[in-house]
Amino acid sequence: MSHAQSNPDYNIVVDVDDDEPTLEFQDFATATAQPGRMTTGGSSAPPPYQPPAGAEPGTSAHSVWAAEYWAQYFNVDSQDVVQRTYLAVVPKDSFLDVYNANPDLWGTFWIPTSVIFAMFVTASLSQGIAEALAGSQHAYDFTMLTFAVFTIYTYVLVVGALVYGSTKYFGSHPGLMECFSVYGYGMAVWIPVSVLCVLPFNWFRWAMVALGFASSGFFIMRSVNQIVSRSNGSLHKAIIPLLLVAHALLVVVFKFKFFSYSVSS
């Protein structure tokens, strides 16, 4: 091994050994298996990098604990969110096809939050009106807000996770965000329903609640059906009726807690 020269006329730090091959600049754009040898005549541009088809967008370079990881799920425009919400309320076309092209968490979070707020406002409004009409003093019920928060967030998170877990167990390759989004966006119909249920006619409230159940129930069933049918589908028969029962329970809770005639205390 040669050592650094101490000759003051030179500032060479490293000596090149003569028995090593000389380095030469290689043209990797046109190189084939043997570097430096061109077997084909013309050179063509390398094919653009193709990510593997169906790659999960979650393979970002950032960790889950960095904000940049979550920013990829907020890469939607206002119009996209409006379109997705419309597809959730009026389930004519497939929501999941549109959603999976660009998964987003904006709707999944803010729509249940808006539903909580809308139900709290309209429920306390209708209670206030009923108590004013009955002539008794109105005392608002703050616990209704905490109840709404707990119920709606728990429903979306727990049932969404259960759908994800069970479909994954049976081999349907669901996406976690996909399952949450079905339930998150599926809450959207309850905003107009809760506004309409301020009108103090019980038959009308039941009719609106039934419409809301039909719309959101059909949307959830259709989306979960689409997820489940990616596998061999013996799970079809088990999970979808169960989900419908869970959804019906939620709707009944909504009706009696938020959309009922208030009993003056």
Partner 1 sequence: MSFLAPDQQASAVFTGVFALVCIGSCVVTLNCKLLGGHVSFFQSVCTLGYCISPMAIASLVTLLAHRIIVTLPVVAVAVGWSISAAVGFLAGAQLANRRLLAVYPICLFYICIGWIIIIS
How many residues sit in the footprint of partner 1 (CB under 8 A)?
A: 25
d(CA 36, CA 26): 7
**Do the beta carbons of residue 167 and residue 174 sit within 8 Å?**
yes
| Residue found under tokens 């009706």 | 255
Q: Which is nearer to partner 1, 107 or 174 (CB)?
A: 107
**50 to 79, contacts with partner 1 by CB under 8 A?**
67, 70-71, 73-79
The tokens describing 25, both together, are 């600049």
Distances (CA, A) of 155 to 65, 144, 150, 247: 25, 16, 8, 9
In the complex, minimum distance from the CB of residue 72 to partner 1, in angstroms, rounded to a whole number: 9
Q: What does the per-residue mask of binding to partner 1 show for 127-166, with x meaning CB under 8 A? A: -x----------xx-xx-xx--------------------
* φ/ψ of residue 264, rounded to 5: -70, 135
Minimum CB–partner distance for residue 106 and partner 1 (Å): 6
Quick check: 180 and 99 in contact, CB under 8 A?
A: no
Looking at 31-39, 46-54, 110-118, 165-173, which segment touches partner 1 (CB under 8 A)?
110-118
Are 141 and 59 in contact, with CB atoms under 8 Å apart? no
Minimum CB–partner distance for residue 138 and partner 1 (Å): 8
Q: Which is nearer to partner 1, 40 or 137 (CB)?
A: 137
**Interacting residues toward partner 1 by CB under 8 A:** 67, 70-71, 73-79, 81, 106, 110, 113-114, 117, 121, 124, 128, 139-140, 142-143, 145-146
